[in-house]
Amino acid sequence: MSKADKNDIDIRIIEAILSNDDREAEEVLYSDIFPYIRKLVADYNYSEEDAKDIFQDCVLLLIYKIREGLVLTCSLTTLMYSMARNLIKVRKRDEKKQHKAIEYLNLPDSYNPEIERNEKMMGELREKILHDSMGKMKEEQCKVMMQNDSETRRSRWQYKQRLKGIVFDDPRFDELND
């Protein structure tokens, strides 16, 4: 297909979209551009259904852009291809984020009462260590740690470091890390 033929097809599609003849535009887009998009989507290991979804999103985006006054500097095939590639990258990024979130949560597949009981005991042990450590500090130091004004920021940091030292020196803290 020559460059002039491609330009004629692009102009025909744009005119069809502007005149609200979406049927004609859709037929040309599906016959001429969809095969490129399908191959691109397949290269990213997505299914035929995903290719159709991404192509539909590209068509809707194209219609919106044309009606907003898009000035073409490339062929519609190139434009749609780049839109599809960007949509795929966004989809991949979102899938990666979702996978990381699931991995981070590390939700068990089934309920295990022993794990829950162990977690509860570990939480109670953490609280006890913190309570005992706070008891070793003076009451005045604990009050400073709870204040939130800027004058006590340095003192609070020093007391916090001291509390960390007390907690880390406690032999029960090693049990929590095992």
> What number of helices (H) and strands (E) belong to the chain?
9, 0
| Cα distance between residue 109 and residue 126, in whole Å | 26
Statement: the pTM of the whole predicted model exceeds 0.95: no
CB-based contacts of 166, cutoff 8 Å, min separation 6: 133, 136, 137
The yes-or-no verdict on residue 115 having pLDDT over 80 is no
pLDDT at residue 54, rounded to an integer: 92
Q: Which of 30-34, 116-120, 143-147, 160-164 has the least mean pLDDT? A: 143-147
148-162 tens-digit pLDDT: 566 566 666 776 777
Q: Which tens digits make up the pLDDT trace of 29-82? A: 888 889 999 999 999 888 999 999 999 999 889 888 888 888 888 888 899 999
